[in-house]
Every structure is written in structure tokens, then in C-alpha cells.
Amino acid sequence: MTPSCFRRAVAPTVFLAAAFAGSLDLLYAFAFWGAQGVPPVRILQSIASGWLGREAYSVGAPAAVLGALSHYGIVLVMAWACYRVARIWPALARRPWLFGPLYGAVLYLAMTYVVVPLSAASNGQWPAWQWSQLAHLAAHMALVGTPCAFAAARALRGPAPG
């Protein structure tokens, strides 16, 4: 049986990983798209367009809030899934520097080629391949997958001696 102190330590670790990875991912998106003249509110509205379709761009701030909440909710599920996988497959927790980036790549591919095409944001087609996708893939590997894997490893070690 798992000690209750261990179970209590898991949730905060996963939530912190989600907050950290989600923030890094948004900062990357703001920087990448901001360099091309896209304001942060538009990026958050594009996330909300997964729920609202094109209407997200005309709703204004409420759609941006929905986009931010959705983004962090998705990253929370990603961090929790990583922890759950690491419980079943301990190699992920033993080598987060190796499997974290691989996890991030899987997440990027799933979001780009499954989740978004099935959402209301989709035009019914897969996105056309562009060179910028390599930057997005690398960012997801480093900024999302790696923090999730390190958090899973930390959560599986249990609370720090104190």
C-alpha cells in the first residue's frame, strides 16, 4: 500500500509541472508568433477556437480566458498522464532527460495531427507541413515533455526528506 504522505505529494508536483510547462509553452508561442506580429490575446483565442471555432476571434477577452484555461487544463492532463505512464513504465522516471523529450514529441504530434484536426478549430484537413513545425516540435520536447517527465520522476520518488 502506498503511504498517504506519498499520495499527497503527487498532486502538487503534477500541478506545478503543468503550471511550469504550460507557462513555458505559452511564452514560446507568444515569442514565436509575436515576432510575426500576432498579439498574445490572438494566440489564446486560437486555443479557444478549438471549442468555439472562428467565433473565438470575435468574442474578445472571454475567448482569451477560455483559451488560457483550456491550455493549462490540457497541460495538466499531459503532466498527469506522464506520471501515470511512469508508474507503469519506470524507465521514464529513471531517465526523464531521455524520455521527456520523446514524450513531448508524442504530445506535439498528437495535438497537431489528432486533437486540433478533430476540434472546432479545424478546417477538416491536416495542417500542411512547414519548416516552423520543427521549432514547435523542439519546443514541445524541451518545454512540455521534459518538465512533465522530471515531475513524474520527482513524484515517484516521494516527498523530500525533511
- Residue-wise pLDDT for 67-90, tens only, equals 999 999 999 999 999 999 999 999
Whether the predicted pLDDT of 124 surpasses 80: no
Is residue 125, in this structure, part of any structural domain at all? Answer: yes
Is residue 162, in this structure, part of any structural domain at all? Answer: no
Cα 45 to Cα 33: distance, rounded to the nearest angstrom: 13
Residue whose C-alpha cell is 509541472: 17
26 three-class SS: helix
User: How would you class 79 by CB atoms within 10 Å of its CB: exposed for 0-12, middle for 13-18, buried for 19 or more?
Assistant: buried
Least confident of 2-11, 22-31, 64-73: 2-11
Whether the predicted pLDDT of 126 surpasses 80: no
Whole-number pLDDT of residue 59: 93
The vertex-67 CA angle with 61 and 71, nearest 5°, equals: 150
Whether the predicted pLDDT of 159 surpasses 80: no
Is residue 161, in this structure, part of any structural domain at all? Answer: no
Is residue 105, in this structure, part of any structural domain at all? Answer: yes
pTM, entire model: 0.88
For residue 47, the Cα-to-chain-centroid distance in whole angstroms is 12
Is residue 46, in this structure, part of any structural domain at all? Answer: yes
What is the number of structural domains in the chain?
Answer: 1
Cα 50 to Cα 36: distance, rounded to the nearest angstrom: 22
Question: Could you tell me the three cell numbers for 42?
Answer: 490572438
Domain that holds residue 76: 4-156
Whole-number pLDDT of residue 88: 95
Whole-number pLDDT of residue 146: 97
Is residue 61, in this structure, part of any structural domain at all? Answer: yes
Whole-number pLDDT of residue 5: 43
